[in-house]
Amino acid sequence: MFSSTRIRLLIALAIIAPVLIFWGFSGDTLQQPSGSSKENAASIDFFMHDARTVYWSPEGDLAREWQTPELKHYPLRSRSELLEPETSMPTPEGGLYKMRANEGWIVDDQSQIQLAGDVEVHHNPQSGPNGVLTTSSLTIYPPRNIARTDAPAKLVRDGEQTETVGLEVYFDQQRIELLSNVQGRYNAP
């Protein structure tokens, strides 16, 4: 009739079958991602804490250095978003630009960097007085070595205070063009 092997097989099937049937009808399978299978614009493919990035010139000199407590990369936006970024950029004459902001983002090809929220740019030349630029937003174009804002900005240097709406900074030339509504004040020591 039935061999012992067949009896064991039937018992095993009797035990496993209800579990498989319950599992198949209960819908408790692995959770599928909600929405479409296409990645949405808010998806992050990687993030870093306490990130530090160093960029070098083609000649092998330090071009700029970025630090941020939190970096998130969004591949569909082709950019990284930074929390409280800080950067330093040496000048050819031996000075240093230091920048900080509440937040920022960098496009993947490094052609544009946006800083926003309490933006500060400190210029510490090797000789001469230091200067500070403050504004609400600043866009930096590293390949052209310039920065620009259309927002109100304030420049303070050696007793001088200048306010403007919009400006362009030419880092290589250590020059700033004030775009509109320029007002200045000099406080003699």
pLDDT at 49: 93
Q: pTM value?
A: 0.73
- How many H-runs (helices) and E-runs (strands) does the chain carry? 1, 11
The full set of domains in the chain, from first to last, is 46-186 (2.60.450.10)
pLDDT of residue 51: 92
What are 125-184's pLDDT values in tens digits? 888 888 999 999 999 998 888 999 999 999 998 889 999 999 999 988 878 899 999 988
185 Cα distance to chain centroid: 35
Q: Which residue has the higher pLDDT, 102 or 20?
A: 102
In contact, 119 and 99? CB cutoff 8 Å: yes
**Least confident range of 27-36, 42-51, 98-107:** 27-36
Query: Any idea which of 20-24, 29-33, 157-161 has the lowest mean pLDDT?
Result: 29-33
SS3 36: coil
What does the alpha-carbon distance between residue 95 and residue 125 come to, in Å, rounded to a whole number? 4
**Percent of residues, the chain, with pLDDT higher than 90:** 45
| Sequence-ordered list of residues with C-beta below 8 angstroms from that of 139, at least 6 positions apart, any chain | 112, 113, 114, 115, 147, 148, 149
Query: What's the mean per-residue pLDDT of the chain?
Result: 83
Average pLDDT estimate for 38-52: 79
